[in-house]
Amino acid sequence: MTSSTLAVGILGAGPVTQAIHLPTLARLRDAFHVSRVMDVDPSIAESVAGRVGAAWTTDTQELLDDPDVQIVAVCSPHQFHAEQVIAACRAGKQAILCEKPFAMTGEEAERIAAVSRETGVPIIVGAMHTFDPGWLAAKSHLDDLVTTAHTIRSSIVLPPNPRFEDFATEVAVRPPSRGADRSDPGVAAAMIHGGIMGLAIHDLPLVRSFCPDFTDLEVLSTDLPHSAGYLINLRIGDKHVQLHAVNSASWRPSWVLEAIGDRSALSVDFTPSYVQAGSASATLRSGADARVFGPYGHNGYEGEWRYLAALTAGDAEPLDVAELIDDLTFAIRIAEDSAAWIKHAMTTTDATIEEEVRA
């Protein structure tokens, strides 16, 4: 089959595919069409593929062996990302978009990088804010704020994902939610780790722009808000970084990234997850002067796919895989250290604290 648009194969047909990627690709039908959808649940695969007139399968390899599929979107559960990205590279596809995180360990990331370099298949990671036009416009005008910023904050207030997913589409079979005993140190640690790797990771590449050398990183405190989320204070070199997120159906959605220096400051107001409502609006202040960038007509979800179209046309340079590895290493370090901090705090008795203080 031949087509004037790029054929996309999607691995995993859950809410992210249904509520984010399909609506985005529908707006970019002059560049892309969905050719095949894979999901381990045949009813979901068939239902989601039927929405876009695509073929469906329950077999990853069948999708990768399909010569019509030019670009692979990896939207499966996190633990399958590395294996599927490597397989897609080996299959000789033109490009791969992998939902965040693209690996779960540094070792997996290095394997992906080696195969990407060997095969020449470019990879991008779906941390949508790195492709948001509002952020990108402001980033090109940061000047010395990159080095002089002493405080970086990522603050996220969102209702649970199903609310936005249901606004975007009718989700076919949402995974069941499970209650968790937050008083269990192991559960609390897992929730913190999951929050960083699942939510904070959207902003962590942006945070790393202001502290690229994160060898000297210390977790100062970690907490689980009652309504779910995280509150983490970090010291990275001489910079203070705060990561804050809460889930609440009663609060107005808000997603803000700030970088503050003595003479200038940046505030980026992003649209919430799943909302296809244009880009962030970024305000860069220096003294009494303020420059505003955006909002622009598309957001980071669309920016990812626009970049892929330019990449396959030879109009954009591939991302540096080493940078993707550094972004992942940064996220893993924060997730693991923060999880360890809260687990230690919840299992340390007052007597032990007194002994540690005396020591």
* Closest listed residue to residue 169, CA positions, set 67, 89, 51: 51
- How many angstroms separate the CA atoms of 279 and 299, rounded? 4
CB neighbours (10 Å) of residue 1? 7
> Tens digits of per-residue pLDDT, 6-16?
999 999 999 99
Is the per-residue pLDDT at 118 higher than 90? Answer: yes
Cβ(140)–Cβ(213) below 8 Å: no
Strands, E assignment, the chain: 6-11, 32-38, 55-57, 71-74, 95-98, 123-125, 151-158, 217-223, 229-236, 239-247, 254-260, 264-269, 281-286, 289-293
pTM, full prediction: 0.89
> Can you give the pLDDT at residue 85?
96
215 CB contacts (<8 Å, ≥6 apart)? none
36: tokens are 């095949």
Q: CATH no. for residue 197?
A: 3.30.360.10
> Can you give the pLDDT at residue 192?
95
- Indicate if 39 and 61 belong to the same structural domain: yes
Is the per-residue pLDDT at 164 higher than 60? Answer: no
- How many angstroms separate the CA atoms of 317 and 44, rounded? 35
Cβ(71)–Cβ(96) below 8 Å: yes
> Tens digits of per-residue pLDDT, 246-277?
987 766 789 999 999 999 999 999 998 777 78
Q: What is the mean pLDDT of the chain?
A: 90
- Indicate if 105 and 151 belong to the same structural domain: no
Structural domain that includes position 55: 6-126
357, amino acid identity = V
Q: How far is CA 17 from CA 9, 24, 58, 218, 272, in A?
A: 11, 10, 15, 36, 17
Residue 180 counted as domain residue? yes
- Indicate if 171 and 114 belong to the same structural domain: no
> Tens digits of per-residue pLDDT, 195-204?
999 999 999 9
- Indicate if 159 and 246 belong to the same structural domain: yes
Out of 93, 109, 126, a domain closes at 126
- Indicate if 160 and 115 belong to the same structural domain: no
Is the per-residue pLDDT at 357 higher than 50? Answer: no
121: tokens are 């298949």
114, amino acid identity = A
> Tens digits of per-residue pLDDT, 23-69?
999 999 999 999 999 999 999 999 999 999 999 999 999 999 999 99
Number of domains in the chain: 2
